[in-house]
Amino acid sequence: MSDSNVLYSIFIKHPEEQNMTYFEHLKHAFSYGLEALCCSIIFVVHGFIPCLFEKTGSTMVQNLHDRLHGHGTKNEKIN
């Protein structure tokens, strides 16, 4: 496999399959990752102090799921 085919496979193939550029895909994946990180923090805080964020984490996870599968308000989908 040539260097250009390897680079294509690593950086471009999947975004193209999602009808995105590399940077569009990066933006979406980063936003999902940041949201998931926030969910994780909320679950950890809730674990220590159960009266905080009683439904926040599960609501955020459901919203993230809906966005990932195209059921969110932005009707976006990424794999």
Residues 5-43 pLDDT 10s: 999 999 999 999 999 999 999 999 999 999 999 999 999
> By the 8 A CB rule, do 60 and 72 touch?
no
CB-based contacts of 43, cutoff 8 Å, min separation 6: 53, 57
pLDDT digits (tens, 9 = 90+) for 50-73: 999 999 999 999 999 999 888 654
Predicted local confidence at residue 79, as pLDDT: 55
Strand blocks (E) in 3-79: none
Predicted local confidence at residue 73, as pLDDT: 46
Predicted local confidence at residue 78, as pLDDT: 53
- Taking CA 10 as the corner, what is the angle to CA 4 and CA 15, rounded to the nearest 5 degrees? 110
Prediction pTM value: 0.73
